[in-house]
Amino acid sequence: MLFLPVIAVLAISGPGVVQPPPAIHTAISANDNRIPAGTIVRGVLHLSIDARWGEWHPDGGARPGVPMQAFGETGKPLQIPGPLIRVPVGTEVELRIRNLIPATELTVHGLIDRPSSEDRSVSVAFGAARVVRFRAGAAGTYAYWATTTHSATIIDRIGWDSQLSGAIVTDGSRAPKGGNTDRIFVIGTWDNVNDAPKVLAQRYTLETFNGLAWPYTERLSYAQGTVVHWRWIDAGSVAHPLHLHGFYFRVDSRGDGINQLDYPAADRDEEVTELVRAGGTFTMTWKADRPGNWLFHCHIPAHTVAHLPFPDMLSGTPAVSIDQFVNDYVPHAEMGDMVLGITVHPSPSWRTQTEPKPARHLALVVETAPDNTPQAPSFSYAIRDGAEEIRSGSHIGPPLVLTQGVPVAIDVVNHLSEPTSVHWHGMELADSFYDGASGFSGYGDRIAPAIAPGATFRVQFTPPRAGTFIYHTHLHDQWEFRGGLAGPLIVVPPGSRFDPTVDHIVMLTAPSAVGDILTKELVNGYRDPPPLIIHAGVTQRFRLINVAAANQQLVVSLESNAEPVLWRPIAIDGADLPAARQTDQPADQTLTIGKTLDFEFTPVAPGDLVFVGRAKPKGLIVARLAVHVI
């Protein structure tokens, strides 16, 4: 076993050397970041925190835990995330930090005046204490984090010290101040350090919101019509595309834990998915104006499947081989980890509204493709529209083209030998029952089931706006996404048609084989997509859709002679940009997973262009589509 005290005695400290946990653990509480730590006396916050070993229970206190290093206020239980530092702007903070983690040096970042041009760290030897003073001089959402493994950046910190993080919130005079509508969420990542120090191993990764993993994350509850303000801090080691079902939100600010950029109202992105980078922050506002159960979650499939049982995670590589994980565990893994559930309770005046009588009837048939294998799933969608049956012929679903304001009924027909469900990504549904999170979507006793093999589920909605959206599986995501269960959902304005000669979908999805996921993305369902032919002098609309399974920092560009052309963004996540932001700019921007970007481009002369997706800025090209201008 790993936790024999003798191992702790033999452990030595130093870069790259992992400290095994001790045998005795005290319970660590999950911190919902609602109660500020310490005491403010005459404009000075006095706070004393200790770093110690404890036992963390990401699945709630009654379920098995894992040993972890954590912070706690002196004399109080340890907490993950660490104690919340929340003060009015201008407060001086006097923080005493004690390191009670044997054989370590604790290095703490982020305990600095704000604003600040740089981070500064303080180190505390085992058994020692230090007092740090800083001034909370700028309103905003920030973070502190610490390491006992000499991690140079938060990206390197994946082991026993991975949860030594906390929020720092400075309240200005006008900002929201606490309560259920002003919430703080800290993201944590832990990867089993026994497997390979400093190397993320997907099957042993745990991702949490405020110290808890779905289905044990906090269930948020709001009265219909509530304006909700959330502050997000990614204190983990990886970036996450965070997606809200059913509603748009406005991004009020973005930051890096040290500084924060507040946007004027006209520049706040209206979106359904936001990329937050390791160490980064953002704040968001949305109005919970439609009742029902809704989700907020990471859009990386691997981050929203249930983690392995902790004994398997702790015992490392020998316990679960990658083949076992991919072929036996992943296909059946339920939703887990980075998911928040929200219930919006109907206002007293709200009546159960039945969707208007559908003006259009369609069927979406979910099928097993001929090349499906137990190792490389291959499924497909077919759309039945009257007498027509539409298939894409590639590894994505065919475009589902709807009309703004026209009520539609879609029968989802499951011909797979496994259950499925469909999420209408970006759609502001009136009724959450159709949202696709089986076992959760709906309200009260009316909860949507998974669609069993052979079963049909009728979905009804009326698209409220025209734009570029996605339909995709929301069950056994890691498996069914790789199977190809995602397609473009295009909503056109009333009286117009989708014209594929000037309106082009470029959809990025996961390859079927798991070994390819980081290095290869499919373009419109093809490994090697046929070139796109467009006409010079004609304005073209492109609808970029990223619903791949990895590379959340993807950068998309349209290049001529290896230089980005100028394109004009016109919509993000299906929401039209304000006219002032629809301006020509270099065709080179981040498009994370679960996002769509519409742009216009007018080629002036014949020639060869190429659309490329890079895994990160200047990174590996993982997607490519030749564009011939004639």
Q: What angle do CA 566, 570, 572 make, to 5 degrees?
A: 115
**Element of type H or E holding 315:** helix 310-315
Cα separation, 89 vs 86, whole angstroms:
9
**Helix-strand-coil split of the chain, %, nearest 5:** 10, 45, 45
- Nearest distance from residue 277's CB to Cu ion, in Å? 11
Quick check: 368 and 417 in contact, CB under 8 A? yes
- Nearest distance from residue 270's CB to Cu ion, in Å? 22
Quick check: 393 and 423 in contact, CB under 8 A? no
- CB-wise, 188 or 569, nearer to Cu ion? 188
- Nearest distance from residue 308's CB to Cu ion, in Å? 17
- CB-wise, 298 or 545, nearer to Cu ion? 298
- Torsion angle (degrees, nearest 10) of CA 413, 419, 424, 428: 110
- CB-wise, 154 or 366, nearer to Cu ion? 154
Cα separation, 577 vs 104, whole angstroms:
51
- Other CB atoms closer than 10 Å to residue 627's CB: what's the count? 23
When asked if residue 303 is in the footprint of Cu ion (CB under 5 A), the reply is yes
- Given 98, 231, 240, 543, the residue binding Cu ion (CB under 5 A): 240
Q: Binding segment for Cu ion among 123-131, 232-240, 424-432, 604-612 (CB under 5 A)? A: 232-240
Quick check: 394 and 380 in contact, CB under 8 A? no
Q: Binding segment for Cu ion among 298-306, 410-418, 474-482, 594-602 (CB under 5 A)? A: 298-306
3-state secondary structure of 580: helix
When asked if residue 278 is in the footprint of Cu ion (CB under 5 A), the reply is no
Cα separation, 318 vs 331, whole angstroms:
20
Residue corresponding to tokens 């289905």: 215
- Nearest distance from residue 464's CB to Cu ion, in Å? 28
- Position closest to Cu ion via CB: 298
- Nearest distance from residue 213's CB to Cu ion, in Å? 12
Instruction: Evaluate the omega torsion of the peptide bond into residue 197 and state whether it is cis, within 30 degrees of 0.
Output: no
- Nearest distance from residue 279's CB to Cu ion, in Å? 14
- CB-wise, 300 or 448, nearer to Cu ion? 300
- CB-wise, 403 or 546, nearer to Cu ion? 546
Cα separation, 497 vs 403, whole angstroms:
9
- Nearest distance from residue 106's CB to Cu ion, in Å? 27
Instruction: Evaluate the omega torsion of the peptide bond into residue 215 and state whether it is cis, within 30 degrees of 0.
Output: yes
Q: Binding segment for Cu ion among 74-82, 109-117, 301-309, 488-496 (CB under 5 A)? A: 301-309
Q: Which amino acid is at 446?
A: R
Cα separation, 87 vs 136, whole angstroms:
7
Residue 603, classified by CB atoms within 10 Å of its CB into exposed (0-12), middle (13-18) or buried (19+), is: buried
Which candidate, 422, 424, 423, 367, places its Cα nearest to that of 392? 367
Q: Binding segment for Cu ion among 161-169, 240-248, 327-335, 533-541 (CB under 5 A)? A: 240-248
- CB-wise, 157 or 543, nearer to Cu ion? 157
- Nearest distance from residue 273's CB to Cu ion, in Å? 11
Residue corresponding to tokens 């005079």: 173
- Nearest distance from residue 57's CB to Cu ion, in Å? 21
Quick check: 390 and 398 in contact, CB under 8 A? yes
Build a one-symbol-per-residue string for 186-225: x at contacts with Cu ion by CB under 5 A, - elsewhere: ----------------------------------------
CA distances to 253, 455, 546 from 226, in Å: 20, 37, 31
- CB-wise, 164 or 298, nearer to Cu ion? 298
Cα separation, 332 vs 418, whole angstroms:
9
- CB-wise, 104 or 592, nearer to Cu ion? 592
- Nearest distance from residue 303's CB to Cu ion, in Å? 3
When asked if residue 300 is in the footprint of Cu ion (CB under 5 A), the reply is yes
- Nearest distance from residue 236's CB to Cu ion, in Å? 8
Quick check: 457 and 451 in contact, CB under 8 A? yes
Quick check: 251 and 283 in contact, CB under 8 A? yes
CA 490 to chain centre: 23
Q: Is the dihedral of CA 260, 615, 376, 448 positive or negative?
A: positive
- CB-wise, 240 or 541, nearer to Cu ion? 240
- Nearest distance from residue 292's CB to Cu ion, in Å? 24
- CB-wise, 298 or 587, nearer to Cu ion? 298
Q: Binding segment for Cu ion among 238-246, 397-405, 418-426, 523-531 (CB under 5 A)? A: 238-246
- Nearest distance from residue 238's CB to Cu ion, in Å? 7
Quick check: 58 and 10 in contact, CB under 8 A? no
When asked if residue 298 is in the footprint of Cu ion (CB under 5 A), the reply is yes
- CB-wise, 114 or 297, nearer to Cu ion? 297
- CB-wise, 203 or 568, nearer to Cu ion? 203
- Nearest distance from residue 525's CB to Cu ion, in Å? 24
- CB-wise, 241 or 484, nearer to Cu ion? 241
- CB-wise, 298 or 408, nearer to Cu ion? 298
When asked if residue 425 is in the footprint of Cu ion (CB under 5 A), the reply is no
Number of residues that bind Cu ion (CB under 5 A): 4
Q: Do you know the residue count of the chain?
A: 630
When asked if residue 314 is in the footprint of Cu ion (CB under 5 A), the reply is no
Q: Which amino acid is at 318?
A: P
Quick check: 211 and 164 in contact, CB under 8 A? no
Build a one-symbol-per-residue string for 369-388: x at contacts with Cu ion by CB under 5 A, - elsewhere: --------------------
Q: Binding segment for Cu ion among 19-27, 135-143, 290-298, 457-465 (CB under 5 A)? A: 290-298
When asked if residue 98 is in the footprint of Cu ion (CB under 5 A), the reply is no
Give contact residues for Cu ion (rule: CB under 5 A).
Answer: 240, 298, 300, 303
